[in-house]
A = this chain, B = another copy of it.
Amino acid sequence: MIVLGLDLGGTKCLGLAVEDGRVVAEHRLPTPPAPRDVIDTVVAVADALIAATGEPAGIGIGAPGLVDRHGVLRAAPNLPGGDELAIGPEVAARTGRPVVVDNDATCATLGEWVSGAGVGARTLVMVTLGTGIGGGIVADGRISRGANGFAGEVGHMVIDPNGPPCPCGHRGCWERYASGSGLGRLAREAAHAGLAPRVVELAGGDPEMVRGEHVTAALAEGDPAAIRIVADLAWWLALGLANLANIFDPEKFVVGGGLVVMGEALFTATTQAFNGLVDAADRRPPIPISPAVLGERAGAVGAAALATEAAGT
Contacts and interface: CB of A to CB of B under 8 A. Distances in A.
Contact of A284 (B137, B148, B250): B148
A251 B69 CA distance: 14
Interface string A147-166: 11111111011111110000
Contact of A158 (B75, B168, B239): B239
B147 A122 contact: yes
A135 B246 CA distance: 10
A139 to B, nearest CB: 5
Contacts of A239: 158, 161
Given A66-B280, A74-B280, A153-B247, A146 B158 contact: no
A285 interface: yes
Given A147-B123, A153-B246, A75 B161 contact: no
Interface string A70-81: 000011000000
A296 interface: no
B66 A145 contact: no
Contacts of A157: 157, 243, 246-247
A156 B244 CA distance: 10
B145 A243 contact: no
Contacts of A285: 147-148
Nearest to A279: B156
Contact of A151 (B150, B151, B156, B249): B249
A140 interface: yes
Pick from A137, A145, A161 the residue with the most CB of B within 10 Å.
A161
Interface residues of A, number: 46
A310 interface: no
Interface in A245-302: 246-251, 277, 279-280, 283-285
Nearest to A283: B74
Given A122-B147, A140-B144, A146-B250, A159 B156 contact: no
A280 B152 contact: no
B280 A150 contact: yes
A170 B277 contact: yes
Interface of A: 66, 74-75, 122-123, 135, 137, 139-140, 142, 144-154, 156-162, 168, 170, 239, 242-244, 246-251, 277, 279-280, 283-285
11 contacts: A66-B283, A74-B284, A139-B151, A144-B248, A147-B249, A148-B249, A148-B285, A154-B247, A156-B279, A157-B243, A158-B159
5 closest Cβ contacts across the A-B interface?
A146-B249, A150-B249, A153-B246, A151-B249, A147-B251
